[in-house]
Amino acid sequence: MLKAVIFDMDGVICHTNPFHSIAFQRFFAKRNLNPTEAEYAEHMYGKNNGYILSHFLGRKIEGEELALLEEEKEGLFREIYKAEVDPISGFIEFFSELKSTGLPTAVATSAPRANLDLIIGALGIGGQMQSQLASEDVSMHKPDPEVYLQTASKLGVRPENCLVFEDSFSGVSAGLNAGMKVVGVLSSHTKGELPKCSSYIHDYRELSIDQIKNLFK
């Protein structure tokens, strides 16, 4: 039985990947690096900053250096995106309908807390999220299920009664690894590029509350 709905953020609540690409382009251009869009698609979308920076800079980035570089890049992103916050089509209506049923909802993202605060704050839905976890709240990043298991625990719901909305390979894997059902949001990837989900959508206009409840029958 469906008892809670958990949303990833980037690519699931808002289609932020193009703006992350712009921020990374500016970040890497300062360092005379110019990754292609194909490289971003393979090594950025759905990945944590430690992986992304280590991959493109060609060495292990960790500890204090990671914190400094991450803040530089994410600061660029927030500066670019703050005037562009725009939910994926149908999200606000779907979320409102979801809340009218009394189901607990949460956000569980690999993004920094400041990004979560910016986006959830701009959409005005923070007060309706019973849990909000960001990268600072976990020690293991997706595809590890920690962020989803922590969320279920905070909500007081068993993992098998949770539905996750995810858009990336690592994110879908994290939800499945937590023992949850997953709806794949095809904002950045095709069905074939994701692990097998219970359902897939391009946007929230394609989905009803009855449909997600039926995934648990």
Q: Give residue-wise pLDDT tens across range 61-85.
A: 999 999 999 999 999 999 999 999 9
Q: What is the pLDDT of residue 41?
A: 83
Q: What is the pLDDT of residue 10?
A: 95
Q: What is the pLDDT of residue 44?
A: 83
At residue 46, does pLDDT exceed 80? no
Mean pLDDT of 93-121: 96
**Are residues 11 and 187 in contact, defined by beta-carbon separation less than 8 angstroms?**
yes
Q: What is the pLDDT of residue 83?
A: 95
CA separation for the pair 217, 212 (Å, rounded): 10
At residue 12, does pLDDT exceed 80? yes
- The region that residue 121 occupies, defined by phi over 0 for left and psi between -120 and 50 for alpha, beta otherwise, is alpha
Q: How confident is the model at residue 95 (pLDDT cuts 50, 70, 90)?
A: very high
Domains and CATH numbers, the chain: 4-15+87-214 (3.40.50.1000), 17-81 (1.10.150.240)
The tens digit of pLDDT for each residue in 150-198 reads 999 999 999 999 999 999 999 999 999 999 999 999 998 999 999 999 9
Q: What is the pLDDT of residue 103?
A: 97
